[in-house]
């Protein structure tokens, strides 16, 4: 070790003193874990990094208000109107939309972008297909009637607020350059990829930034789009570096080598708050997502609602939120997240607490006074092992033996999707701030048969189906009176807390630590606006 | 000098057993004379004692959680501090010694015979047998150790048992290479020719005459590799594929501590140092053992 | 001629076997590569579409042949988790690792060989013990732990070195990647500021890896030297009045050079593949991490290509070592 220190000292002397730290004045530098990022094609993006970045590159048709996510404000679409019968939606695009090249963007481009999302059929297409559009009817149901107008034919009269929030504010509605996409399309086995491979690294979009470099698992660089119609981004570049270790991110942030750290662990955040509060701020955003336990209903023991209820009393919600999950989650047991339309309030949405006696009593009622043994699978990453061991140790106190098995995320998802689990600790993020987002996947289960393979429904994964909930959810979705919709959603949430297949532990918090010289970096659950930031 | 001492140091040995004991005795003296190697030996003996006496030494069990006591720095009450779930790290390290010993012993017990068998067979028969066995050996050898282990653990499912098998798979090829090289030298020697003339079959020659000659260098090799084995096990734990929680495997503990590295340094430092000391001890001991057993380095 | 053909054939067989083991190991992996492409919330139709596109519905043997075809074409197929051609990805990650490993081996050799020689010459002295201890300590340390500790001390506290990554952000994109080795590229273009910055970033991870390889190199040097120093000709030379260091330099060291080269080559190969954890800690976009991420995402195209490359490196080094061994040790003839 001595030799190395000496060598290091020597080399530093050669280099002429200390290494200078500071990020470039006209760039926002962000550290993140970019492992999951595989594409920038808005029709395919299915993970957190891509979703976050793409909203600054491909502007959706409408936006969530950066100050109040429950409000919808115009994006590339200037105004919209619904017909009397509620079956035709007309959207008028702005007439000053331009691609980064300066070329005009039209309703034909928008039409093509929506069509291709449906035709490509990635998971993301569900944002559109859930509302009655599909590969067969899309040519007639979504049409550009002139250069600025898009007409949508709906199959049912959906509440327009829900439609705007769920479909039109989603990242899949960015306007891509049709000409570029068609020119660069790859055709295999007679099928076009609609420029999927081409847009993967360089989406040509209407938006405040454009992607100029992406080295996988290394760096993403965005440059300002000077032909953007709206207010131009303040900082010329955004540099996102792949830094997979929380500790390393923290050091970089403290040293001023980055402006924003996106993936910090609880204890690093606590230390930042304690030591460098003068230079670093921590913004916590309550997300529309959960960490939860799922139980497999096919298991004779876990299929019993009383057993599942008992598990809800094995979690020290507040204890976890104050320790392991500080900065990471807020206790919440109802499946509709706080902040979403139709959510129960904080108290009603979290009626459980750690209560071993109650749990024991419920198990006895269910017919398992002596407990049982189950396998419990979880991710090896982040806080999952600590949370799982916490649950395990409480379960042991009432005679329930949980055998933990941790694994890579990709493997965990595979196991969950194929129903190969008994107890499972996993996460989920809702796509838009409306109760329907969670309820349509976690409570509704259209078809519980194995061969239906509805793996996108956590309810199906848990083999849980309830005809009454399916009906209630459909009625609520179509209810056009907002007050009645809220009441209907409250009812579903109460029902699910009693008999649902999950035990929700916390509603996710997304902590973002940033240096105080960065101003106006607007953060909402569904949109992190690099475009407004200054420094 | 006592009678025992005289017998041990006798100029002329009276029986093969006497010769063996005397050799061991002189080896022991040489080991004693090498302070580093002897230090390593003492540490390993200490490790075994700690593992055996874990229930006595450890103040509490290895999974006594308390969210109120989490991340306490080392103190009189918690010698090594507490971890992210408020568990006493001293207790976990002590219990974890068992896992370390379990893994290293088992890997040695699996890998050494496989390596010896493959290496001596290839070396003794030569020709096609040699080519085939050595190509297989090369395949495993050219596989990155951690990746091979990772792949097998991922395929078989995580857990200590599978981790041991996976690590053993990565540990035998170097031993086989070594045994083969030794065999090539021994094969040509006169006494093997003599045994062969007396009518001994290949199996007998390999088992009775070649393997014993290879054993010292294999023992040295595996002792030296033990550090690598422990680090691979720790690497698997680090990537979440080794022992499952709440098992106090040192590598897994280190991996957990990584998240608190800057704040609660002891969570990573304590198992890190434990791994370091143990593998260092194996290395020092192995290095000394080589001086004792390997005549070429004299 | 025939011997050469025989060698080539057996190497091909080894590599083919390596691919086969990897491929079938990949089949056993309970990780589904489709999920990383379609996302965890995707429906069955999407899933099936991608499953088909990846050719996972073809018979196993067919898939294996397609894989081998991809490997032979030199493009290595598409990496699923990055979406690029694997060859393209490797072109980016491999230089990063080469640069790191080369830096490390320079330290390993520069310090390890003299240390080993000294230890052998002064065998049994305090110097020998210290050298042995220092070396073994490097060999026994969990490298990622040293890495984080090093970052805390030299980067965060002392500010002597650059942080994680290959360059400060201010310098990203500032030079044209000609070789991909930033230090070399910067030197070629005379961008000394970039060079200094890159050097500040590589010095810590490079030294830590170098320390780990130093142990192996110094120990092997020591034992080769001891063997030589015990030879009759050395004793004769000493008896003739040649000075100790002259003997060491002119005779003993000269005789171990080939053996030593083999050891260094092997140490280098280990550095290429063994830097996964260091690369993670230092956010170094290298080969080891690429391979591990590929494996954990179930991306067998990427894994197979990496394994093949490592296999080629190892097999060739083994062949060389074998040949040298035969050449040098008359007893094995």
> Which residues numbered 36-75 in C keep a CB inside 8 Å of some CB on A?
36-47, 49
Q: Do A407 and B240 touch (CB under 8 A)?
A: yes
Q: Look at A192-196, C76-80, C91-95, C213-217 and tell me which has the smallest mean pLDDT.
A: C76-80
pLDDT digits (tens, 9 = 90+) for C271-311: 876 677 788 888 898 888 888 888 777 787 888 888 888 88
**What average pLDDT does range A88-94 have in this prediction?**
96
pLDDT over 90 (residue B198): no
Decide if A331 touches B, using CB distance below 8 A: no
Q: Do A18 and C160 touch (CB under 8 A)?
A: yes
* Percent with pLDDT over 90 in chain B: 23
Which residues of chain C are within 8 Å of residue B284 when distances are taken between CB atoms? 132-133, 136
**What average pLDDT does range B61-65 have in this prediction?**
89
User: Any idea which architecture C91-332 has in CATH?
Assistant: Orthogonal Bundle (1.10)
Closest CA to C175 of C202, C197, C203, C160: C197
Q: Do A390 and B263 touch (CB under 8 A)?
A: no
Q: Check residue B213 and give its pLDDT.
A: 85
What is chain A's mean pLDDT, rounded? 91
Query: Sign of the CA dihedral C128, C133, C138, C139?
Result: positive
- Please give, rounded to a whole number of angstroms, the shortest distance from the CA of A415 to a CA of chain B: 12
- How long is chain C? 333
pLDDT digits (tens, 9 = 90+) for C169-198: 777 777 777 788 888 888 888 888 889 999
Closest CA to A411 of A377, A445, A457: A377
* B24 inside domain: no
Q: Check residue C178 and give its pLDDT.
A: 79
Q: Do B246 and A245 touch (CB under 8 A)?
A: no
Alpha-carbon separation of residue C143 from A139, A351, B254, B278, C207 (angstroms): 58, 47, 12, 15, 11
**What average pLDDT does range A236-242 have in this prediction?**
93
Q: Do A252 and C31 touch (CB under 8 A)?
A: no
Buried/exposed code over C215-226 (b: 16+ C-beta within 10 A; e: otherwise): bbbbbbbbbbbb
* B63 inside domain: yes
Of residues C30, C164, C169, nearest to A29 (C-beta): C169
- The predicted complex's ipTM stands at 0.80
Q: Check residue B253 and give its pLDDT.
A: 87
Query: Sign of the CA dihedral B260, B261, B263, B264?
Result: positive
Residue ranges per structural domain of chain C? 2-72, 91-332
Give the SS3 label for residue A237. strand
Which residues of chain B are within 8 Å of residue A245 when distances are taken between CB atoms? 258
Alpha-carbon separation of residue A129 from A117, A124, A461, A485 (angstroms): 10, 9, 21, 22
Q: Look at A70-79, A276-285, C22-31 and tell me which has the smallest mean pLDDT.
A: C22-31
Decide if C13 touches A, using CB distance below 8 A: no
Q: Look at B120-134, B178-192, C35-49 and tell me which has the smallest mean pLDDT.
A: C35-49
Q: Check residue A2 and give its pLDDT.
A: 40
* B1 inside domain: no
Residue of B nearest to C319 (CA): B138
**What average pLDDT does range B40-44 have in this prediction?**
93
> Which residues numbered 393-412 in A keep a CB inside 8 Å of some CB on B?
393, 403-408, 411
Residue of A nearest to C145 (CA): A247
Q: Do A268 and B84 touch (CB under 8 A)?
A: no
Q: The domain containing residue B286 runs over which residues?
A: 35-297
Decide if B150 touches C, using CB distance below 8 A: yes
State the Rg of chain C over Cα.
24
Report how far residue A269's alpha carbon sits from residue A282's, in angstroms, rounded to the nearest whole number. Answer: 8
The better pLDDT of the pair B2, A33 is held by: A33
Give the SS3 label for residue C176. coil
Q: Check residue B238 and give its pLDDT.
A: 66
The better pLDDT of the pair C168, A462 is held by: A462
Beta partners for A379? A407
Report how far residue A82's alpha carbon sits from residue A161's, in angstroms, rounded to the nearest whole number. Answer: 11
Please, which pLDDT band fits residue B294 given cuts at 50, 70 and 90? low
Residue of C13, C140, C274, C305 to mutate when probing chain B, most B C-beta within 10 A: C140
- Please give, rounded to a whole number of angstroms, the shortest distance from the CA of A397 to a CA of chain B: 12
- Please give, rounded to a whole number of angstroms, the shortest distance from the CA of A321 to a CA of chain B: 11
* B18 inside domain: no
* Percent with pLDDT over 70 in chain B: 97
pLDDT digits (tens, 9 = 90+) for A420-470: 999 999 999 998 999 999 999 999 999 999 999 898 899 999 999 999 999
Q: How many other C-beta atoms can be found within 10 angstroms of the C-beta atom of residue A399?
A: 14
Angle formed by the axes of helices B265-293 and B250-258, to 10°? 140
Q: Check residue A3 and give its pLDDT.
A: 41
Of residues B67, B240, B263, nearest to A267 (C-beta): B263
Question: A462-466, B59-63, B182-186 — which one is most confidently predicted on average?
Answer: A462-466
Decide if A316 touches B, using CB distance below 8 A: yes
Q: Using an 8 Å Cβ cutoff, are A151 and A90 in contact?
A: yes
Determine phi and psi for A260, rounding to 5 degrees.
-135, 135
Q: How many other C-beta atoms can be found within 10 angstroms of the C-beta atom of residue A375?
A: 14
Q: Do B235 and C219 touch (CB under 8 A)?
A: no
> Which residues numbered 54-93 in B keep a CB inside 8 Å of some CB on A?
63, 65, 67, 70-71, 84-85
DSSP string across B249-263: -HHHHHHHHHTTTTT
Q: Check residue C329 and give its pLDDT.
A: 59
The better pLDDT of the pair B263, A522 is held by: A522
Residue of C32, C37, C39 to mutate when probing chain A, most A C-beta within 10 A: C39
Report how far residue A493's alpha carbon sits from residue A489's, in angstroms, rounded to the nearest whole number. Answer: 6
Report how far residue A405's alpha carbon sits from residue A412's, in angstroms, rounded to the nearest whole number. Answer: 10
Q: Do B245 and A407 touch (CB under 8 A)?
A: no
Q: Do A46 and C42 touch (CB under 8 A)?
A: yes
pLDDT over 90 (residue A158): yes
Q: Look at A246-255, A281-290, C66-75 and tell me which has the smallest mean pLDDT.
A: C66-75
User: Tell me, what CATH number does B125's domain have?
Assistant: 1.10.3720.10
**What average pLDDT does range B194-208 have in this prediction?**
87
DSSP string across A166-232: IIITSGGG--B-HHHHHHT--EETTEE-TTHHHHHH---BSSSEEEEEEETTTEEEEEE-TT-SSSP
pLDDT over 70 (residue B170): yes
The better pLDDT of the pair C331, A157 is held by: A157
> Which residues numbered 214-273 in C keep a CB inside 8 Å of some CB on A?
none
* Percent with pLDDT over 70 in chain A: 96
* B80 inside domain: yes
pLDDT over 80 (residue B296): no
- Please give, rounded to a whole number of angstroms, the shortest distance from the CA of B188 to a CA of chain C: 8
Decide if C131 touches A, using CB distance below 8 A: no
- Please give, rounded to a whole number of angstroms, the shortest distance from the CA of C315 to a CA of chain B: 7
Residue of B160, B240, B254, B269 to mutate when probing chain A, most A C-beta within 10 A: B240
Decide if B152 touches C, using CB distance below 8 A: yes
Alpha-carbon separation of residue B134 from B167, B207, B219, C19, C85 (angstroms): 19, 20, 21, 17, 33
pLDDT digits (tens, 9 = 90+) for A257-312: 899 999 998 888 988 999 888 999 999 999 999 999 999 999 999 999 999 999 99
* B98 inside domain: yes
Q: How many other C-beta atoms can be found within 10 angstroms of the C-beta atom of residue C6?
A: 11
pLDDT over 80 (residue B290): no
Q: Using an 8 Å Cβ cutoff, are A262 and A514 in contact?
A: no
**What average pLDDT does range B65-83 have in this prediction?**
90
Beta partners for A219? A215, A241
Report how far residue C302's alpha carbon sits from residue C291's, in angstroms, rounded to the nearest whole number. Answer: 7
* B289 inside domain: yes
Q: Check residue C180 and give its pLDDT.
A: 84
């Amino acid at each position: 070790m001595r030799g190395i220190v000496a060598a290091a000292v020597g080399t530093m002397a050669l280099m002429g003193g200390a290494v200078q730290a500071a990020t470039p004045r006209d760039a926002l530098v962000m550290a993140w874990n970019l492992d999951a990022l595989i594409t920038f094609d808005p029709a395919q993006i299915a993970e957190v990094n891509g979703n976050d970045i793409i909203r600054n590159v491909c502007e959706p048709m409408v936006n969530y208000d950066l100050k109040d996510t429950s409000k919808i404000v115009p994006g590339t679409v200037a105004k919209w109107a619904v017909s009397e019968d509620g079956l035709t939606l007309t959207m008028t695009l702005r007439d000053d939309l331009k691609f980064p090249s300066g070329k005009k963007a039209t309703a034909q481009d928008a039409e093509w972008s929506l069509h291709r999302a449906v035709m490509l059929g990635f998971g993301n297409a569900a944002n559109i297909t859930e509302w009655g559009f599909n590969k067969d009817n899309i040519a007639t149901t979504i049409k550009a009637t002139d250069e600025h107008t898009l007409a949508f034919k709906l199959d049912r009269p959906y509440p327009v607020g829900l439609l705007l929030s769920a479909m039109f504010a989603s990242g899949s509605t960015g306007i891509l350059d049709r000409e570029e996409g068609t020119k660069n399309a790859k055709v295999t086995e007679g099928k076009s990829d609609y420029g999927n491979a081409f847009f993967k690294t360089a989406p040509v979009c209407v938006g405040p930034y454009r992607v100029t470099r992406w080295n996988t698992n290394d760096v993403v660089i965005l440059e300002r789009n000077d032909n953007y119609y709206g207010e131009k981004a303040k900082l010329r570049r955004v540099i996102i570096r792949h830094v997979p270790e929380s500790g390393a991110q923290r050091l970089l942030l403290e040293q001023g080598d980055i402006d924003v750290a996106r993936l910090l662990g609880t204890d690093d955040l606590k230390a930042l708050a304690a030591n460098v509060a003068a230079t670093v701020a921590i913004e916590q955003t309550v997300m529309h997502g959960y960490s939860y336990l799922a139980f497999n209903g096919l298991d004779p023991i876990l299929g019993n609602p009383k057993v599942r209820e008992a598990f809800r009393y094995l979690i020290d919600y507040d204890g976890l939120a104050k320790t392991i999950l500080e900065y990471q989650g807020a206790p919440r047991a109802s499946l509709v997240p706080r902040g979403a339309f139709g959510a129960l309030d904080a108290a009603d949405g979290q009626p459980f607490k750690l209560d071993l006696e109650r749990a024991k009593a419920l198990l006895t009622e269910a017919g398992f006074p002596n407990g049982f043994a189950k396998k419990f699978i979880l991710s090896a990453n982040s806080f999952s092992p600590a949370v799982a061991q916490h649950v395990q140790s409480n379960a042991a106190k009432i005679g329930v033996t949980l055998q933990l098995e941790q694994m890579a995320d990709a493997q965990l998802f595979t196991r969950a999707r194929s129903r190969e689990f008994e107890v499972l600790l996993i996460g989920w993020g809702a796509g838009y701030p409306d109760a329907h987002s969670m309820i349509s996947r976690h409570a509704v289960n259209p078809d519980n048969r194995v061969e239906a393979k509805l793996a996108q429904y956590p309810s199906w994964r848990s083999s849980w189906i309830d005809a009454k909930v399916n009906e209630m959810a459909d009625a609520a979705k179509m209810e056009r009176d907002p007050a009645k919709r809220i009441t209907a959603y409250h009812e579903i949430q109460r029902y699910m807390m009693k008999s649902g297949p999950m035990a929700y532990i916390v509603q996710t918090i997304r902590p973002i630590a940033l240096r105080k010289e960065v101003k106006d970096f607007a953060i909402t659950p569904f949109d992190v606006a690099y475009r407004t930031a200054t420094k | 000098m006592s009678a025992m001492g005289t017998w041990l140091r006798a100029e002329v040995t009276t029986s093969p057993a006497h010769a063996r004991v005397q050799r061991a005795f002189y080896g022991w003296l040489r080991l004693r004379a090498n302070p580093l190697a002897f230090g390593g030996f003492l540490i390993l003996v200490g490790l075994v004692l700690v593992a055996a006496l874990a229930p006595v030494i450890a103040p509490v069990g290895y999974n006594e959680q308390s969210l109120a006591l989490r991340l306490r720095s080392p103190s009189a009450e918690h010698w090594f501090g507490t971890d992210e779930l408020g568990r006493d790290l001293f207790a976990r390290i002590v219990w974890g010694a068992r896992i370390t010993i379990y893994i290293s012993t088992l890997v040695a017990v699996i890998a050494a015979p496989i390596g010896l068998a493959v290496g001596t067979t290839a070396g003794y028969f030569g020709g096609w047998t040699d080519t085939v066995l050595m190509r297989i050996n090369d395949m495993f050898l050219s596989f990155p150790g951690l990746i091979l282990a990772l792949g097998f653990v991922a395929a078989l499912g995580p857990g200590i048992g599978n981790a041991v098998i996976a690590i053993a798979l990565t540990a035998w090829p170097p031993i086989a290479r070594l045994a083969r090289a030794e065999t090539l030298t021994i094969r040509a020697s006169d006494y093997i020719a003599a045994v062969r003339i007396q009518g001994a079959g290949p199996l007998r020659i390999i088992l009775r005459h070649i393997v014993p000659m290879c054993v010292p260098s294999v023992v040295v090799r595996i002792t030296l590799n033990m550090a690598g084995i422990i680090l691979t096990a720790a690497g698997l734990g680090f990537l979440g594929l080794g022992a499952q929680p709440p098992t106090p495997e040192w590598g897994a503990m280190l991996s957990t501590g990584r998240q608190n590295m800057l704040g609660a340094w002891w969570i990573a430092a304590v198992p890190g140092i434990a791994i370091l000391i143990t593998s260092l001890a194996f290395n020092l001991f192995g290095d000394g053992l080589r001086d004792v057993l390997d005549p070429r380095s004299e | 001629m025939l011997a050469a053909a025989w060698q080539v054939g057996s190497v091909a067989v080894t590599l083919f076997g390596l691919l086969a083991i990897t491929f079938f190991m990949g089949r056993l992996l309970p990780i589904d590569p489709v999920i990383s492409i379609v996302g965890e919330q995707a429906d069955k139709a999407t899933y099936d579409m991608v499953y088909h596109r990846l050719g996972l519905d073809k018979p196993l043997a067919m898939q294996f042949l397609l894989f081998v075809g991809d490997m032979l074409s030199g493009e290595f197929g598409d990496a699923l988790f990055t979406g690029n051609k694997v060859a393209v990805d490797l072109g980016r990650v491999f230089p990063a690792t080469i640069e790191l490993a080369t830096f490390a081996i320079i330290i390993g050799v520069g310090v390890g060989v003299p240390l080993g020689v000294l230890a052998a010459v002064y065998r049994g002295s305090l110097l020998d013990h210290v050298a042995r201890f220092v070396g073994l300590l490097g060999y026994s340390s969990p490298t990622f732990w040293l890495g984080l500790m090093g970052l805390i001390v030299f980067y965060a506290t002392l500010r002597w070195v650059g942080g994680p990554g290959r360059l400060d952000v201010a310098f990203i994109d500032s030079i044209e990647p000609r070789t991909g080795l930033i230090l070399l590229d910067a030197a070629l273009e005379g961008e000394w500021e970039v060079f200094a910055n890159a050097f500040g970033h590589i010095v810590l991870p490079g030294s830590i890896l170098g320390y780990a390889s130093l142990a192996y190199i110094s120990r092997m040097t020591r034992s080769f030297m001891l063997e030589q120093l015990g030879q009759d000709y050395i004793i004769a030379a000493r008896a003739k009045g040649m000075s100790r260091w002259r003997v060491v330099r002119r005779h003993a060291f000269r005789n171990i050079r080939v053996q030593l080269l083999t050891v260094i080559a092997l140490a280098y190969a280990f550095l290429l593949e063994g830097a996964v954890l260091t690369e993670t800690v230092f956010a170094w976009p290298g080969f080891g991490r690429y391979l591990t991420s590929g494996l954990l995402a179930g991306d067998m195209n990427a894994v197979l290509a990496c394994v093949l490359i490592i296999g080629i490196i190892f097999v060739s080094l083994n062949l060389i070592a074998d040949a040298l061994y035969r050449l040098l040790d008359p007893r094995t003839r």
